[in-house]
Amino acid sequence: MICPRCGSSIPEGMLVCPDCGHEIQMVPDYNPMDDVLAREIEDQGARRRSAYAARQKAQAAREAELARKRRARQAEKKKRRKQRRTLISLLLLLFVLIGVLIFVLYRGSYAGLVSRGKNAYKNGDYKQAETLLNRAIDMHEDKSDAYNAIYKVYIAQDQADKAEDLLLDIVAKYPKEVPLYKVLFSFYQDSKQSSKIAIVLDTIEDDSVRAKLKDYDVAVPTVSLEEGEYDDVQQVSLEAPGAKDIYYTTDGSVPTKEGKRYINPVQISEGETILQAIAVNKKGIESLPVSFTYNVELPIADAPAVTPSTGQYTGAQQITVQVPDGYTAYYTMDGTEPTAASEKYNGPIQMPEGNTLFSVVLMSPDGKFSDITKRNYERL
C-alpha cells in the first residue's frame, strides 16, 4: 500500500505511514447490503427512540395527570376541611345559641325559678329566694316543689307563722293534692310543731287522700280502765297499736314528747285524776291527745264506837274507843270538836269526876276525818 501523502510504501497490515506518520484509513469494499442493513439499523434505532420518546411522553402525561389529580384531591380535601370547619363553626354557634335560649327559658321556667330560689337560700339571700319562689308559685300554685323550698326560707327568717298560713291555705284550696299535705307535715316537723299534724289529718274528709298519708297517721292511745268513780286506788294500762312510744300526764296538762314516757301502768290514787296521753310513731309524729277522768273516793269509817254510853256513873269508869286498823283517834273532853291537834287516843281513858262532854273522831291514813262521836258523862 502506498502512502497517499508521501508516496512511501506501507507494509501490509500497518495503518500508519512509517515515513510521514500519516494515518491510513481503510475503505472497505462497497456492499449494497451494508447500506440496507445500516438503514434497517438506523430505522430500528429511530423506532426505538420514537417508542422511547412516546413512552417518556406517556409517562410524563401520566405523571402530570397524577399530579393534577393529587392537586385536585388536595384542593378538594382543603375545600372539604374548610367546609367542615365552617359547618362545625356554624353548628357550634347554633348550639351556643340554643344553649343560651334554653338557659334563658330555663331560668324563667318553674323548675329554673325553684332551682335559683334554692341556691339563693343556700347563699343566705332570703329576700331573693322568696321573690324567685313566689314567682314559681304564681306559675304553678298546685305544685309542691316551690312550697317545700319557701317554707324553709320563712323559717330562716323567723316567719314560721307566715309559712304555716301559706301552706294551710294551699291545702285547703287543693284538698286532694297529697304532695302539698306532705310539704305541710314536713314544715311542722322542721318547725317543732309535729303535734299539729294529727289535727290536720283529722280534718281530711277524703278517705283516699288520708290513706296515702297513713305514714303520718297515729292511732290515739286506749286505756284498760273505763272512766268513772272507784272506791279504791286503781292501775291503768295504756296501749297504742303501731306506736313507738306513749307519753302521758296526770296533772291536767297536755302531754308532749318531752314529758313522761309510759313504761308501767299508771297509778290512780284517791281524788280526781285526769289522765291525758298521746302516741308517737317512728317518724316522731304525735297523735291527737286523749283524756280520761277517774274519781277515787276511799270509804271512811263510821263515827267511832265509844263505851260506855252517855249517862250517870258511880265510881271509877274507863272510856274506850274502837279504832280500826290504820286509823288514828283524837278526842276532847271540854265539848270542843276534836282535830288532828287534839289529844291522841292511845288507850282507855279514866272518866273524870263530875260532868264531862267527851268528843272523839277518827282520821284515815290519807287524813280524812270520820263523823264525831259525842258522849255526855256524869260521874258521881
The Cα–Cα gap between 32 and 73 comes to 60
Are 213 and 178 in contact by the 8 Å Cβ rule? The answer is yes
Select from 191, 216, 241 the last residue of a domain: 216
Model confidence at 25, in pLDDT bands (50, 70, 90)?
A: low
Query: Does 326 lie in the same domain as 255?
Result: no
Query: Does 209 lie in the same domain as 117?
Result: yes
The overall average pLDDT reported for the chain is 90
**212-246: pLDDT as tens digits:** 999 999 999 999 999 999 988 899 999 999 899 99
Select from 170, 191, 216 the last residue of a domain: 216
What would the grid cell of residue 288 be?
A: 291527737
Query: Does 266 lie in the same domain as 328?
Result: no
* Residue 31 confidence (pLDDT): 63
**Domain span holding position 240:** 222-296
The Cα–Cα gap between 9 and 278 comes to 162
* Residue 157 confidence (pLDDT): 95
Model confidence at 375, in pLDDT bands (50, 70, 90)?
A: very high
Are 198 and 218 in contact by the 8 Å Cβ rule? The answer is yes
What would the grid cell of residue 341 be?
A: 291537834
Are 272 and 297 in contact by the 8 Å Cβ rule? The answer is no
- C-alpha gyration radius of the chain: 64
The answer to the question of residue 359 being in a domain is: yes
The answer to the question of residue 256 being in a domain is: yes
Query: Does 346 lie in the same domain as 261?
Result: no
Structural domains of the chain, count: 4
